[in-house]
Amino acid sequence: MTNKFIKIGLISISDRASQGVYEDLGISSLKEWLNSSLISPFETEEHLIPDDLATIQSTLIDLCDKSNCGLVLTTGGTGPSQRDITPEATLSIADKELPGFGEQMRQISLNFVPTAILSRQVAVIRKKTLVINLPGQPKAIKQTLEGLKDESNNVIVPGIFAAVPYCLDLIGAAFIETNKDIVAAFRPKKK
């Protein structure tokens, strides 16, 4: 029987936000987007953590292996600064890398800022969990998940989330459906 319920791990990675220097907007942006974009039931497990390799690794492993999240979304820590180590932590816990996700996120972001080439987002599979590193800014999170649309809301460049439901199918995670007005999930037609 196909699982119709998914648990989604949300991790915001920021030294200053985790210390209370400023308010974290990553998790709230992700939750808002998921609430408007998924029509399948889901629950989230959320963590606000510092840019620390061991902390990121252990949080990712716990969400994948102990909490049984089918999807984990991270935000923050993907730039070129010395403290930005989210991709390294993510790759270190992976069974497989999915480079197309990072490539597509950079392609989308380059339509807005030339510094998108400095982004180092990655996506990986660990067992039956898809882990995706997203940008740190709420606007960029939404743009990379949904893609680029024209004035009539037609997709010009697909967002990465269009591929997420089928990827979850392929790795044996829960079946999810999206609100196609926000992001239309692509699944091959059955023959």
Tens-binned pLDDT, residue by residue, of the chain (191 aa): 455 789 999 999 998 888 888 888 899 999 999 999 999 999 999 999 999 999 999 999 999 999 999 999 999 999 999 999 999 999 999 999 999 999 999 999 999 999 999 999 999 999 999 999 999 899 999 999 999 988 888 888 899 999 999 999 999 999 999 999 999 999 998 76
Pull the structure tokens for residue 175.
């079946």
Residue 180 lies in a domain: no
Task: Return d(Cα 149, Cα 56) in angstroms, integer.
Answer: 33
The residues pairing with 97 across neighbouring beta strands, listed in sequence order, are: 124
Cα 109 to the chain's mean position, in Å?
15
Global pTM? 0.95
If one counts the domains in the chain, the total is: 1
Within-domain flag for 1: no
CA dist list (Å): 110 to 37, 102, 106, 114, 131: 23, 12, 6, 5, 22
**What are residue 37's phi and psi, to 5 degrees?**
-105, -25
Considering only CA atoms, which of 53, 148, 163 is closest in space to residue 109?
A: 148
**Where does residue 172 fall: left (phi above 0), alpha (psi -120 to 50 degrees), or beta otherwise?**
left
In DSSP terms, 178 is beta-bridged to 38
CA atoms of 87 and 79, how far apart (whole Å): 9
> Tokens at residue 146, please?
């949904």
d(C-alpha 104, C-alpha 97), whole Å: 14
**Which residue range(s) make up the domain with 86?**
6-171
Quick check: is 113 in a domain? Answer: yes
Kindly report the CATH number assigned to the domain that includes residue 10. Answer: 3.40.980.10
Would residue 121 count as lying in a domain? Answer: yes
Q: Is residue 184 part of a domain?
A: no
Q: How many CA atoms lie within 13 A of 162 on its CB side?
A: 21
Whether 87 is covered by a domain: the verdict is yes
d(CA 41, CA 125) in angstroms, rounded, equals: 22
